Amino acid sequence: MKKLRILHVLTQRPDGTGSGVTLQALVGEARKKGLSSRVVVGIPCGEESRCREALPAPCHPVLFEGRDVAGAVVGMSDVMPYRSRCFRDLLPGELERYERAFSLRVREAVAAYRPHLIHLHHLWIGAAVVAEAFPGLPLLAHCHGSDLRQFRNGPALAGKVRPALARLDAVAALNDVQASEVVDLYGIPPEAVHVVGAGFDRSLFRTSRKEVPPPVEILYAGKLSRAKGVPWLLKALERVVDLPWKLHLAGEGSGDEGALCRRLGLPFGGRVLFHGALPQKDLAELMGRVHLFVLPSLFEGLPLVLLQALASGCRVVSTALPGLPRELVASAGGALRLVPLPRLAGIDSPHADDEERFRTDLAEALAETIRLCLREGPPRETAALEAFTWPAVFDRIETLYRRILAGRKPPFLYKHFRTS
């Protein structure tokens, strides 16, 4: 086969979230290996140049807040690190315009680029639109985790998505737990779901010399929201004020949840610093300085920030997320302390009866790890991390590309295919 051409489709911005970081990494790794990429993404009007800077590949943007779709970018999570709307708030006419805009832009990209395969990001509306529009093209969909929440929270839309995604050739999942959920929720055959994992950039996230504490520098990176556990983190820290620590919060929140997180941080004064959303380079620099990374999230696929923190020589306190790879947990040893998840009243909302226990467990884990940082310094690097670098992840994805295309007999021929 000639130079492999891959068209990626992500219906939101290619930055600020795990799926955006993944898209950037996959395009970059493909370029290193001589593969060709193009991308269709959703961005606000006026951000075309920023999109091209983030992605070293030709870009076909769907423009929100203007030309293509009125209103803000529709996010895959209820709280995004940038201005956004939720799928559940779209009126029928707005959803139709959203679908038409992405269908048109992908058609334009397909006609101009003639990809061998389309790599869809998120098993949700955008993937369904493409699957319906291009039934003859090889299709791989990448599950990032937030799509599973959308599926559970939006039964009306889920009923529309499920039959369309039955046309997929394969699904890439982050871990075994997620793969099982994809099979159960979408009815996709188990043999079509493949675990590829998630990765980190070894050139950015690596061990470096850290200042000797005190204070113990703590970092949280992600959305400032309840689903990420930030309010309980701040409440837990109220119980360890006698220990020498400083907390860095890297990320944005929106609406009432973002305001709540900022309000809970105010009483700590200069001990809690709000950095806002950071580019990967700046986040890597901050991770290289801090001693302890905390991830109190109630729901995740395979969090990139946890991999980045371990690679940066941080000790980590995290909720016991079911998708954490067993080999990573075993290899991390004393570098990783897991806090039991509370029972969930919803997909990512703790049961009221468990909130106090969750706060106590977080406080105890933080206190013990802060003392460990003071006593022993940084941990040894986790041996299993090499399997989670982006080159290793991309090798698994490229193998999946080749397997999908090899299974297509005869190969897809554009002369028999109409794009409009």
pLDDT in tens, 185-203: 999 999 999 999 999 999 9
Domain count for the chain:
2
Q: Assign residue 121 the CATH number of its domain.
A: 3.40.50.2000
Would residue 246 count as lying in a domain? yes
Residue (of 212, 217, 216, 161) closest to 185 by Cα position: 161
Distance, CA of 374 to CA of 303 (rounded, Å)? 26
Banded pLDDT at 420 (limits 50, 70, 90): very low
- The beta-strand segments (E) located in 3-122 are 5-10, 36-44, 59-64, 74-75, 85-86, 117-121
Query: Looking at the structure, do residues 266 and 234 belong to the same domain, yes or no?
Result: yes
Tell me, what DSSP letter sits at residue 273?
Answer: E
pTM: 0.88
Both 118 and 59 in a single domain? yes
pLDDT at 412: 59
pLDDT (0 to 100) of residue 24: 94
pLDDT at 413 over 70: no
DSSP string, 222-262: S--STTTTHHHHHHHHGGGTTS-EEEEEES---HHHHHHHH
The answer to whether residue 32 is domain-embedded is: yes
Distances 315 to 61, 295, 318, 394 between C-alpha atoms, Å = 39, 11, 10, 27
- Measured in whole angstroms, the distance separating CA 391 from the mean position of its chain's CA atoms is 18
Q: What pLDDT digit, counting tens, does each position of 316-359 carry?
A: 999 999 888 888 888 888 899 999 999 888 766 788 899 999 99
Which range marks the domain in which residue 192 is found?
A: 5-198+389-416
Instruction: Tell me whether residue 377 is in a domain.
Output: yes
In residues, how long is the chain?
420
Please check whether residues 150 and 272 belong to one and the same domain: no
pLDDT at residue number 416: 46
Residue 273 domain-assigned (yes or no): yes
For position 241, what pLDDT does the model report? 94
Q: Do 48 and 186 belong together in one domain?
A: yes
- Decide if 210 is inside a domain: no
Contact 83/72 with Cβ under 8 angstroms?
A: yes
